[in-house]
Every structure is written in structure tokens, then in C-alpha cells.
Amino acid sequence: MSLRIGTRGSALALAQTNKVVGMLADRGIEAEVVTITTEGDTATEVPLHAIGGQGVFVRALDDAILRGEIDAAVHSMKDIPAARPAGTVCCAVLERDSPADFLAHEGPLDAVRIIGSSSTRRRAQLLRDAPTLEVRQLRGNVDTRIRKLREGQYDAIVLAEAGLERLGIRLPGEPLPTDRFVPSPNQGTVAVVCRDDPAVAGAFAALDHAPTRLDVEIERAVMEEVGGGCFTPQGIFCRDGNLIAEVLALDGSRWERIERRIATVDEARECGRALRRQAADLIREAYTALGMKP
């Protein structure tokens, strides 16, 4: 069997896809990489929430699968939106890498005043931790973000630690603790989406890591019940069934949080509904402030 695997053209997306291709090769399965440009890659000067959120990185690849141009696509799983098109299936979830955010800074930590991040979650959590910080928009691929840091446009930037590790990039700085800076749902996880065809899905079955899949399914169930997408600052992280989930005000001044031991996806959904009730005002405020319709 020979497969066509789609990916975005960024260095990180290609590194993740090549890892999957290598894992397939180890099992005697050939695969060709097909690079596809998405709206999220071209509209880099626009805040992510203004062009449809993380789903913009996935939509073009989903469409290519449904048109039969590719058999599967590799994604950072946190980019995959809750609503999925019929005809596609998540056929493999790789073992999770670091879920943490990484604060990269060239100078001393106590001199950091301006931080770059395009994430409403990261912005809210940073301001909760240090309200005097200034958090400015930062889009672009990893190389672009690092260049802007080194040019002095920011004192520090926040990146996913897993992405740096996959690219073999070492930067001065430190990972942020996941209990205070709760990651995005599925951060640090790579997933493979394919055409809903047992023969294609079966080719990826051996790559699936069951413990990671359960943790990320718990996170996604909470995310789906809370709602808000990338418009509402929210961190949802589960490790070995231990869940932390929170929703924050855009300025980090208020938040609602749940910490619980979760064994099933149904329990996760109950948690998500409870958190949505607790955080209803914060969710509504975020949509209003960003000019979005709930």
C-alpha cells in the first residue's frame, strides 16, 4: 500500500508529517508527502480568532481528503476543531510529547515586560500571573516568531515546547508549569486524520497510543461542552485521568476552574457542562469583546 499524506508547509508541520512517514516505513508502508497551503498560513497579519480560529489550519486538508487528493493528513491535534466533517476519521493519536508552553527570552526573566503571543489563553494566563505585563499579537511560523524575538520586538515569546523539541530548536527560557499555565486541549499531541475507509485507517492503527488517546478525548469532550473555541481563553489538560480545566477573562482578572479525576468521556462531558455553567459570564464577555456571535 502507498499512501498520500497531506500537510501544511511549515517546518513544524513537515517535521510532524515526516515522523509519521518514518513510523509507517518501519512497518513496511510507503507514503508520499503532499504539501497544501491553508488560509491560516497566508493570513499571518490577522488575529487567529478573526479568520475562524484554529480550524483554518485543518479545513483545507479536510477538503483535500474528501476530494480524494490525499488519503490522510497530519495535524497538531490542538488545531483540530470539535466539529468534524462526515467522511473523515481520526485514525491515530501519537504518544504525547511535552504539553507545556515554553517562555523564550534572551535577557533576564525579571526584565521581561513585553511578551508576544496570538493566543487568547496564553495572554489571559500571563496577565493573571503578572498583570503589569504587556502581551502583544504575534503570528507566523516558529522561525518568524524567533526572529522577531531576536530583533527585540518582544522581551519574550510563548511557544509550545513540543514544537521546539520536534524541530530540534533550543532556546533560552523555561517551560511554564501546567498547573498554572494550563495548556490548550490536546497540546503536544500529533494526530492523523484520514478518509473514512477501513483499509486506509487500518494502515495507521499501529501508530495509535491508547493512553494518550483517552487523555485527549477527555480534553476534547470538556472542550466541546464548554464551547468557545479559541475565542474564549480556556486551558484543558488531562494526564493519566487527572483533569484540570479552566476558563478565564480575556484580561486574566477572573477565572473558573475544575480539578477532578476522570475515568470516562461521559464524566468529562459532565465536567465540561459544569464548567460552562460556572463560566457563562466569562464566555459571553469574551465573545462580545472580540465581536463574535456565540
| CA 219 and chain centroid, separation | 12
**CA pair distance 65, 8, nearest whole angstrom:** 13
SS3 per-residue string spanning 7-68: ECCCHHHHHHHHHHHHHHHCCCCEEEEEECCCHHHHCCCCCHHHHCHHHHHHHHHHHHHHCC
Torsion sign, CA atoms 196, 197, 200, 205:
positive
- The predicted structure's pLDDT at residue 289: 84
Going by C-alpha positions, the residue among 44, 41, 45, 47 that lies closest to residue 289 is 47
- The predicted structure's pLDDT at residue 230: 64
- The predicted structure's pLDDT at residue 48: 46
Q: What are phi and psi of 266, to 5 degrees?
A: -60, -40
Q: Which of 79, 97, 101, 215 is catalytic?
A: 79
**CA pair distance 192, 92, nearest whole angstrom:** 5
CB 285 within 8 A of CB 229: no
**CA pair distance 43, 68, nearest whole angstrom:** 26
CB 94 within 8 A of CB 189: yes
Place of cell 463560566: 279
Q: Which residues of the chain have pLDDT under 50?
A: 40, 42-44, 46-53
Helix 265-278 with 210-226: angle, nearest 10 deg:
30
CB 80 within 8 A of CB 186: yes
The residues, any chain, with a CB within 8 Å of residue 285's CB and separated by 6 or more, are: 249, 250
Active site residue 101: no
pTM for the structure as a whole: 0.87
Torsion sign, CA atoms 163, 20, 212, 191:
positive
- The predicted structure's pLDDT at residue 294: 60
- The predicted structure's pLDDT at residue 139: 82
